[in-house]
Amino acid sequence: MKIGVLKETKKGEKRVSISPNIAKQLVEKGFELIVEENAGTSSSFKDSEYSKIGASVEKRGVVFKESDVLIKINPFDEEDLKLVDKGQILMSQLYHKSNTELIEAIAAKGATAFSMDAMPRITRAQDMDVLSSQNNLAGYKAVIRGAYEMTKIFPLMMTAAGTITPSRVLIYGVGVAGLQAIATAKRLGAVVEATDIRTETKEQAESLGAKFISVDNKGEESEGGYAKEASEDYARRQKEAVNESLFKADLVITTAMVPGRKSPVLITAEQVSNMKNGAVIIDLAAAQGGNCELSKMNETVIHNGVKIIGTTISPESVSTNASDLYAKNMLNFIVHLTENNEFKWDLEEEITDGTLIVQEGKIRKN
Ligand code: NAD
């Protein structure tokens, strides 16, 4: 089976779906690998690293023409689809629920498409879960970005010139990104607090050394491990419980999301007005509307001396590690779907069923 690794064309994207390290493992398993020229350059992987392990490095057109399976990180786009042939298998993130036109275009091509972001959140699928591997790195990077934007340091420091008290970090949303943000801020020496609508996250936050701010969540159901939209009553209780910590925080990282919905507004302009001068908010939910009322995607807004940075969960800036982890997820997924290097799908099986969005031109899920 020939696997084609495409260079990402999305603006600002630096990752590659298969790193040389994982390419080597695929080749050792008997897969043929065709990698587009310069696919790994922005992640610090040279073409020669791929050719050295037995992959062939080719121009874009050749990769499309020769491959049985085409792999990307970002959704295939119109330009890609012009080069896709009937019968080819596409693997990338597709965000199929909000990308109906793309799914229809893939089906019109007679292709098959798996969506990596549709991976079920079950224990068995953890090593194929690209949302987790990438969000984990994004949580780390959010703290580093915060440290860069702040005018204070994180740890307690006793010097001859005086003692510096540790910075206070508050994390909203203790999912994959939030947990890594807690761990990173803690390692840097900050005093860390966190809150989440799902009470089961209390123990996880505390095990990493954060103080958990509990909010009475009676009546707020979660579904399949994910939060549902919070009620107005919960939002009011949350503000009451969290405000004292918010107004003392030096860095706030927000990661709260609800699948398929706009992100909940957890910090209003009025709350920001009561925050410390010089505080920084890194809003990782900005692409879904933002957890802070004042966030603007890819912009820094200053309100009453508070810097609000609207960004998204994306580990592009640590593309070497992010590519390696994405690639490892892909390797596990390909191994899961194949036997003796041939596809052998069981549509009754949860991982295959969950991720197979288009099968030979027929849309299975939208
Ligand atoms: P996510 O990105 O959807 O949301 C981040 C966090 O925000 C969640 O913890 C959520 O509860 C929280 N949140 C939502 N609304 C909120 C509100 N109004 N106030 C406060 N917090 C709010 O979450 P995620 O990181 O994708 O994780 C979602 C779930 O999936 C978790 O239960 C996680 O443990 C689970 N998970 C399972 C697997 C697996 O088993 N393969 C892998 C990854 C994650």
For 101-143, the pLDDT digits (tens) are 999 999 999 999 999 999 999 999 999 999 999 999 999 999 9
- Choosing from 44, 48, 126, 273, the catalytic residue is 126
Domain boundaries, the chain: 2-118+319-358, 135-313
| Of 121, 187, 237, 364, catalytic | 121
Total residue count of the chain as it appears in this document:
366
**CATH architecture of the domain covering 135-313:** 3-Layer(aba) Sandwich (3.40)
pLDDT tens for each residue of 201-242: 999 999 999 999 999 988 887 777 788 889 999 999 999 999
* pLDDT tens digits, one per residue of 84-105: 999 999 999 999 998 999 999 9
Residues whose CB falls within 8 Å of the CB of residue 287, separated by 6 or more in sequence, listed in order: 297, 312, 313
Instruction: Determine whether the shortest distance from the Cβ of 227 to ligand 1 is under 6 A.
Output: yes
- How far does residue 227's CA lie from ligand 1's centre (Å)? 6
pTM: 0.93
Is residue 132 part of the annotated active site? The answer reads: yes
Between CA 197 and CA 203, with CA 202 as vertex, the angle to 5 degrees is 150
Residue 226 is among the residues annotated as catalytic for this protein: yes
Mutate to test the pocket of ligand 1, among 197, 325, 332 (most ligand atoms within 8 A of CB): 197
With beta carbons less than 8 A apart as the criterion, state whether 35 and 47 touch: yes
Among residues 51, 26, 4, which one has the least CA distance to residue 331? Answer: 26
| C-alpha separations of 76 from 30, 93, 103, 127, 350 in Å | 26, 8, 10, 23, 24
Query: CB 263: neighbour CB atoms within 10 A?
Result: 22
Percentage of the chain modeled with pLDDT above 90: 91
CA of 176 to the centre of ligand 1 (A): 7
356 CA to middle of ligand 1, Å? 23
The CA 44 to ligand 1 mean position distance, Å, reads 31
CA 102 to chain centre: 21
Q: Which has more confidence, 219 or 250? A: 250
ipTM above 0.85, yes or no: yes
Catalytic status, residue 121: yes
Mutational pocket test of ligand 1: of 119, 236, 258, the residue with most ligand atoms within 8 Å of the beta carbon: 258
CATH number of 2-118+319-358: 3.40.50.720
Cα dihedral 347, 350, 352, 354 in deg (nearest 10): 110
State phi, psi for 193 to the nearest 5 degrees. -125, 155
Ligand 1: which of 121, 208, 312, 329 to mutate, judged by most atoms within 8 Å of the beta carbon?
121
Are 2-118+319-358 and 135-313 equal in CATH topology? yes
